[in-house]
């Protein structure tokens, strides 16, 4: 059920990428899509009523493995967030340079390449 | 040969209230970031999250006191150097793993049994990796913020004029 | 030998990464040092990958055993791709010594270049799905920055289009990774393969496979996912175009498609026919769109799409002959397409224009460029005895052998179309009379000429690979690797 909400987020981001007229809005929509996918990856590791995956000094391994949520997707999502940050930085830098070159943020006017 | 870098100084930053509060807060924020990095192998945090918090401390200083003062605290050249050095330390840690017997890259060559669990000094090379990563992420984020806001690189157009596209639109109106 | 090879595996990723950072640290202002470091790195990578022929191995990162740890795997297919990346990267790094003189931020170029090579090597050697994604992103980010390197109008626009479409495809791939992890509980490629071989492909796994196909079809520019390539490859500086079109599209596109489709998910008839139709569509669309182009590099970019279609068609046949043809065409295309892009770059360096209508008679003024581009054009058009002829012949024969006569006829027709537009380039740019406007033409500098001669020699030597002594160790081994569907690298 909650996975469909993640899918909704991805689709909203996709709509934003397709329908935006400004480069910065496209960037923000891509960011929303990234958030949706990260949420999906995170929720894959969820367990109903699970504990945070932190081992207390007094816990045994079997108790921990049976009670905690899966820590692997959390590590994966952390990496994916940092990757998304790198791409975001590059995109924003490109938008700034595009503005300096073309004088506009409007995607429909940045169309020198055709054919 | 290189484009001139004009430091676009929009006055000396924000108001007095912001500057005072920043002066109080920059220490605790930095400390919290360093705590996140150092305890990253025991509590949630680690290189990435702690590095972001450290970078935000420096960004706060730059936002509150203006570009020049912010850059005098942590200059662009220093950030660039620390950036590369951080990741090189991480690679070096991995490569050192190949020297130990049966060694693999990123092998944990410090045994945890000697130092015990759940303390700061446990976990082998992981805390050192966290430190290197924190250094890298902090300087990289600070560099990204600096370059995007404080440095306005004059763009040369192919025809040799100094007019950028933005100025051309202004001229047309 | 195999002991050496196993310890060599992480060096493929760590060496270019370390050198990239070292260049940033040390050679900021000293461009000759940056150039020297990157040429030495690529040479060492090339030698290492040649010494890895015939080696197989699994490298457990950190010493952790397989289900827990991160693996890097080397097998025949990976060796083939590693050799392609390193040898062509070596040629391109030689070329860029002269070509990148006019850009002021020179040492950043070499850093980004080595970062891209790191990402590609990481994708080739990855043993689990998430590391594949991470190194894919590293290579992709480096290539986005490299396409925009000169900061001219077209470069920025093309890079923006490329980055948006690339991010979309990365989102699709990450969703696929999430689904696969949710279903099988593991990310290790071998374990996923065993899990799928046991329990078959139910609906969620098919969805994940479909997402992977869409995402990696974006990366390998198959029609209808090709929209970024005709803008990104021409606008980039010439060495970047050569790397992108010659290697990147294959290392992170076709290679991963082959890995996932054949080794991990296991192909059935539907997947193979999907690959065949995608290949046919790319072949025909790319070839037809290339004929009408006026810009040399845009023509070569569409031609890349067409040749990628050949490769995917060969993969989609699923027979040993088809896969050998596809892999051979992959290596050939890497060699001659990067050569052609370097030639186009030399033409642009010398004359300042890429428009075919303004060029002509360059054979007299740029002899090395003219000769090597003749070799490259004849290779790609499939004229015997050059290497392109053999690989296309194998693909056509494989089509006929499997009974797909329609595909075979289409492949032959597209080859004729390829010949047509290559002849057009040769005639208009090199053989025609010298127009009045092209009087102030610079000859190509020595390093650029050396790089182009190296790649042309590579093309010629590749045409001898089909002799039975030479082809076994690397080409046939790679094809066998692809065909051993299910568990790989054991």
ipTM score of complex: 0.93
* Tokens 């390449």 -> residue: A113
Judged against a pLDDT cut of 50, whether residue C158 lies above it is answered with yes
Q: Which one is predicted more confidently, C4 or C256?
A: C256
Distance CA B120, CA C252 (A): 40
B169 and A104 within 8 Å at the Cβ level: the answer is yes
Which CA distances in Å does C429 have to C7, C370, C416? 48, 9, 20
The distance of A56 to chain C (nearest Cα, Å) reads: 21
**Nearest CA to CA, how far is C186 from chain A (Å)?**
10
Cβ within 8 Å, pair C21-B1: no
pLDDT in the model for residue A10: 93
Burial zone of C431 (CB within 10 Å; 0-12 exposed, 13-18 middle, 19+ buried): middle
pLDDT band at B167 (very low <50, low <70, confident <90, very high): very low
- CB contact (8 A) between residue C171 and residue A37: yes
pLDDT at position B158: 42
Rounded Cα distance between C453 and C114, Å, is 23
Mean pLDDT of C21-37: 83
Answer yes or no: is pLDDT of A112 > 90. no
What is the SS3 assignment for B98? coil
Banded pLDDT at C425 (limits 50, 70, 90):
confident
Residues of chain A contacting residue B137, judged by C-beta atoms under 8 Å apart: 82
Where is pLDDT greater, at B153 or B78?
B78
- For the segment C294-314, the average pLDDT, to the nearest whole number, is 89
In the predicted structure, residue C489 carries a pLDDT above the cut 60: no
pLDDT cut 90: percent of chain C above it? 15
CA distance C44 to C21: 17
Residue A113 has its nearest CB partner, among C154, C163, C174, at C154
pLDDT at C265: 80
Percent of chain C with pLDDT over 70: 94
- Give the three-class secondary structure for A98: helix
- Tell me the domain boundaries of chain A: 2-109
- pLDDT bin (cut points 50, 70, 90) of residue B152 is low
Residues of B in Cβ contact (< 8 Å) with C25: 81, 84-85, 88
Residue A51 in this model has a pLDDT that exceeds 90 = no
* Sign of CA pseudo-dihedral C261, C265, C268, C269: negative
The pLDDT, as a whole number, for residue C58 is 81
Give the pLDDT band (50/70/90) at residue B2. very low
Structure tokens at C94: 């030689």
Taking CB atoms and an 8 Å limit, are B165 and A102 in contact across chains?
yes
| Contact check, Cβ <8 Å, A37/C178 | yes
CA distance C223 to C232: 15
Residues of chain C positioned with their CB less than 8 A from the CB of A37: 171, 174-175, 178
Could you identify the residue written with the tokens 């000169």?
Answer: C150
pLDDT of residue B95: 80
Nearest to A89 among B46, B48, B144 (CB): B144
Model confidence at C198, pLDDT cuts 50, 70, 90, reads confident
Establish if A109 touches chain B: CB-CB under 8 angstroms. no
Identify the pLDDT of residue B100. 64
Query: Within the 110-169 window of chain C, which residues sit less than 8 Å (CB to CB) from chain B?
Result: 151-153
Q: How confident is the model at residue B3, as a pLDDT?
A: 45
For the ranges B46-55, B116-125, C43-52, the maximum mean pLDDT occurs at B46-55
Chain B residues whose CB is inside 8 A of the C17 CB are 87, 91
What backbone torsions phi and psi does residue C488 show, to the nearest 5 degrees? -130, 160
Return the DSSP state at B119: S
pLDDT, one tens digit per residue, over B37-47 is: 988 887 787 88
Cα–Cα distance, B125 to B128 (Å, whole number): 5
Q: Chains meeting A at 3+ CB pairs closer than 8 A? A: B, C
Q: Which of A5-9, A21-25, C459-463 has the lowest mean pLDDT?
A: C459-463
Lowest mean pLDDT across A12-16, A73-77, B5-9, B169-173: B169-173
Give mean pLDDT, residues C297-322: 88
pLDDT category, C476, cuts 50, 70, 90? confident
Which of C134, C158, C167 lies closest to A87 in CB terms?
A: C167
Percent of chain B with pLDDT over 70: 64
Q: What is the DSSP string of A44-61?
A: HT--TTPBPS---TT--H
Determine the residue of chain C that is closest to B99 in CA distance.
C7
What residues of B are in contact with residue A102 (Cβ under 8 Å)?
A: 165
Average model confidence (pLDDT) across chain C: 84
- Our CA-based measurement puts residue A106 at a distance from the nearest CA of chain C, in whole angstroms, of 12
* Residue C386 banded pLDDT, cuts 50, 70, 90: confident
A97: closest chain B residue by CA: B155
Q: Do C153 and A76 touch (CB under 8 A)?
A: no
Select from C362, C383, C345, C334 the least CA-distant residue to C438.
C362
- Among the listed residues C165, C55, C72, C170, the one whose alpha carbon sits nearest the alpha carbon of residue C478: C55
pLDDT at C112 over 80: yes
Query: In the predicted model, is pLDDT for residue B157 greater than 50?
Result: no
**Cα–chain center distance at C351:** 28
Q: Is C61 within 8 Å of B106 when comparing Cβ atoms?
A: yes
Question: Domain map of chain B by residue range?
Answer: 5-156
CA–CA min distance A105, chain C (Å): 11
Instruction: Provide the pLDDT for residue C164.
Output: 93
The subunits that touch chain C, with at least 3 C-beta pairs less than 8 Å apart, are A, B
Residue B125 pLDDT > 70, yes or no? Answer: yes
Say how many CB pairs under 8 Å bridge A and C.
94
Residue C133 has a pLDDT of 93
Mean pLDDT of A57-71: 76
Mean pLDDT of A58-63: 73
Output the pLDDT for position B168: 44
Peptide bond into C224 cis (omega under 30): yes
**Chain A residues with beta carbon closer than 8 angstroms to that of C154:** 112-113
C59, B107: Cβ pair inside 8 Å? no
- The residue in chain B having the minimum alpha-carbon distance to the alpha carbon of residue C15 is B91
- Rounded Cα gap, residues C264 and C190, in angstroms: 7
Q: What digits encode the pLDDT tens for the residues C64-73?
A: 777 777 888 8
User: C-alpha distances in angstroms, C136 versus A6, A19, B20, B51?
Assistant: 24, 27, 45, 24
Write out pLDDT tens, residues C208-235.
Answer: 888 999 999 898 888 888 888 888 888 8
A104–B contact, CB cutoff 8 A: yes
Q: Which residues pair with C61 in a beta bridge?
A: C70
Query: What is the fold, at CATH topology level, of the domain defined by A2-109?
Result: Helix Hairpins (1.10.287)
Q: In the structure, what pLDDT confidence band is assigned to residue B118 with cuts at 50, 70 and 90?
A: low
| Total CB pairs under 8 A between chain A and B | 38
- Residue C130 φ then ψ, to 5°: -75, -35
**The predicted structure's pLDDT at residue B50:** 92
- C62 CB-contact burial (10 Å; exposed 0-12 / middle 13-18 / buried 19+): middle
User: In this structure, what are the phi and psi dihedrals at residue C384, rounded to the nearest 5 degrees?
Assistant: -65, 150
Q: What is the dihedral of CA C212, A88, C124, C222, to 10 degrees?
A: 50
- Say whether B44 and A96 touch across the interface (CB within 8 A): no
Determine the distance in angstroms separating the CA of B156 from the nearest CA of chain A, rounded to an integer. Answer: 9
More confident call, C166 vs C185: C166
- Residues in chain C closer than 8 A to B155 (CB atoms): 151
Interface mutation target, options A78, A79, A103, A110, chain B, most CBs of B under 10 Å: A103
Q: What is the structure's pLDDT at B163?
A: 39
What is the model's pLDDT at position A80? 94
Least Cα separation, residue C368 to chain A (angstroms): 30
Q: Hey, which of A50-54, B81-85, B95-99, C438-442 has the most confident mean pLDDT?
A: B81-85
Q: What is the pLDDT of residue C401?
A: 86
pLDDT score of C363: 76
Question: Does A57 contact B at CB distance below 8 Å?
Answer: yes
Q: What is the 3-state secondary structure (H, E, C) of chain C?
A: CHHHHHHHHHHHHHHHHHHHHHHHHHCCCCHHHHHHHHHHHHHHHHHHHHHCCCCCEEEEECCCCCCCCEEEEECHHHHHHHHHHHHHHHHHHHHHHHHHHHCCCHHHHHHHHHHHHHHHHHHHHECEHHHHHHHHHHHHHHHHHHHCCCCCHHHHHHHHHHHHHHHHHHHHHHHHHHHHHHHHCCCEHHHHHHHHHHHCCCHHHHHHHHHHHHHHHHHCCCCCCCCCHHHHHHHCCHHHHHHHHHHHHHHHHHHHHHHHHHHHCCCCHHHHHHHHHHHHHHHHHHHHHHHCCCEHHHHHHHHHHHHHHHHHHHHHHCCHHHHHHHHHHHHHHHHHHHHHHHHHHHHHHHHCCCEHHHCCCHHHHCHHHHHHHHHHHHHHHCCCCCHHHHHHHHHHHHHHHHCCHHHHHHHHHHHHHHHHHHHHHHHHHHHCCCCCCCCCCCCCCHHHHHHHHHHHHHHHHHCCCCCHHHHHHHHHHHHHHHHCCCCCCC
- For B60, the 3-state DSSP assignment is helix
Select the highest-mean-pLDDT range: B157-161, C91-95, C139-143, C376-380. Answer: C139-143
Report the gap between the CA of C162 and the closest CA in chain A (Å): 10
Closest chain A residue to C181, measured at CA = A44
Q: Residues for chain A: how many in total?
A: 115
């Amino acid at each position: 059920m909650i996975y469909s909400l993640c899918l909704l987020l991805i689709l909203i981001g996709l709509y934003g990428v397709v329908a935006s007229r400004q480069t910065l809005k496209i960037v923000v929509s891509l960011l929303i899509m990234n958030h949706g996918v990260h949420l999906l990856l995170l929720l894959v590791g969820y367990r109903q009523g699970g504990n945070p995956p932190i081992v207390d000094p007094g816990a045994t391994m079997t108790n921990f493995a049976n009670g905690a949520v899966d820590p692997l997707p959390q590590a994966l999502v952390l990496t994916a967030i940092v990757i998304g940050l790198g791409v975001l930085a590059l995109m924003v830098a490109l938008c700034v340079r595009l503005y300096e070159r073309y004088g506009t943020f409007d995607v429909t006017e940045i169309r020198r390449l055709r054919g | 040969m290189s484009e001139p870098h004009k430091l676009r100084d929009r006055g000396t930053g924000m108001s007095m209230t912001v500057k005072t509060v920043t002066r109080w807060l920059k220490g605790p924020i930095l400390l919290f970031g360093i705590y996140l990095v150092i305890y990253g192998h025991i509590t949630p945090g680690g290189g990435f999250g702690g590095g972001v918090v450290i970078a935000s401390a420096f960004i706060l200083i730059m936002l509150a006191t203006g570009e020049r003062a912010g850059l005098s605290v942590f200059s662009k050249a220093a950030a660039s150097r620390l950036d590369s050095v951080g990741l090189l330390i991480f690679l070096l840690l991995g490569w050192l793993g190949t020297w130990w017997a049966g060694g693999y890259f990123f092998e944990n060559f410090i045994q945890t049994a000697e130092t015990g669990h759940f303390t700061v000094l446990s976990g082998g090379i992981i805390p050192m990796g966290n430190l290197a990563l924190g250094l890298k992420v902090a300087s990289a984020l600070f560099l990204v913020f600096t370059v995007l806001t404080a440095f306005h690189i004059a763009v040369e157009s192919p025809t040799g004029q100094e007019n950028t596209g933005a100025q051309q639109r202004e001229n047309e109106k | 030998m195999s002991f050496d090879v196993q310890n060599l595996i992480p060096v493929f990723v760590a060496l270019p990464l370390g050198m990239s950072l070292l260049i940033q640290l040390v050679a900021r202002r000293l461009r000759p040092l940056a150039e020297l470091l990157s040429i030495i790195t690529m040479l060492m990578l090339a030698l290492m990958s040649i010494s890895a022929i015939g080696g197989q191995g699994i490298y457990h990162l950190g010493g952790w055993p397989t289900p827990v740890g991160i693996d890097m795997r080397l097998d025949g297919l990976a060796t083939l791709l590693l050799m392609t990346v390193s040898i062509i990267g070596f040629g391109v790094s030689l070329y860029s010594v002269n070509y990148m003189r006019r850009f002021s931020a020179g040492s950043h170029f070499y850093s980004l270049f080595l970062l891209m090579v790191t990402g590609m090597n990481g994708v080739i050697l990855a043993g689990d799905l998430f590391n594949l994604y991470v190194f894919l992103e590293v290579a992709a980010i480096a290539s986005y920055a490299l396409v925009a390197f000169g900061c001219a109008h077209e470069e920025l626009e093309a890079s923006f289009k490329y980055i948006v479409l690339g991010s979309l495809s990365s989102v699709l791939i990450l969703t696929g990774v999430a689904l696969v992890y949710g279903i099988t509980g593991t990310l290790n490629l071998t374990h996923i393969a065993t899990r799928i071989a046991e329990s078959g492909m139910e609906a969620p796994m098919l969805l994940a496979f479909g997402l992977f196909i869409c995402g990696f079809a974006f990366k390998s520019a198959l029609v209808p996912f090709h929209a970024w390539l005709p803008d990104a490859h021409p606008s980039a500086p010439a060495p970047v175009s050569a790397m992108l079109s010659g290697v990147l599209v294959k290392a992170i596109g076709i290679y991963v498609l082959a890995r996932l489709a054949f080794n991990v998910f296991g192909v059935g008839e539907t997947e193979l026919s999907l690959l065949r139709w995608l290949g046919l569509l790319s072949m025909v669309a790319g070839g037809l769109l290339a004929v009408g182009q006026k810009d040399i590099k845009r023509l070569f970019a569409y031609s890349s799409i067409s040749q990628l279609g050949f490769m995917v068609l060969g993969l989609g046949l699923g027979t040993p002959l088809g896969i050998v043809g596809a892999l051979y065409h992959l290596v050939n295309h890497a060699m001659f397409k990067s050569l052609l892009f370097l030639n186009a770059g030399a033409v642009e360096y010398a004359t300042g224009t890429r428009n075919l209508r303004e060029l002509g008679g360059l054979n007299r003024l740029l002899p090395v460029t003219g000769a090597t581009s003749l070799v490259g054009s004849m290779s790609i058009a499939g004229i015997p005895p050059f290497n392109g002829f053999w690989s296309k012949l194998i693909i056509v024969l494989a089509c006929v052998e499997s009974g797909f006569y329609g595909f075979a006829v289409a492949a032959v027709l597209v080859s004729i179309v390829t010949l047509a537009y290559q002849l057009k380039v040769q005639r208009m740019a090199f053989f025609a009379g010298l127009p009045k406007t092209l009087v102030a033409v610079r000859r190509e500098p020595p390093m650029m000429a050396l790089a182009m001669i190296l790649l042309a020699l590579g093309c010629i030597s590749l045409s001898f690979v089909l002799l039975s002594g030479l082809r076994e160790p690397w080409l046939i081994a790679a094809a066998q690797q692809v065909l051993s569907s299910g568990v790989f690298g054991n």
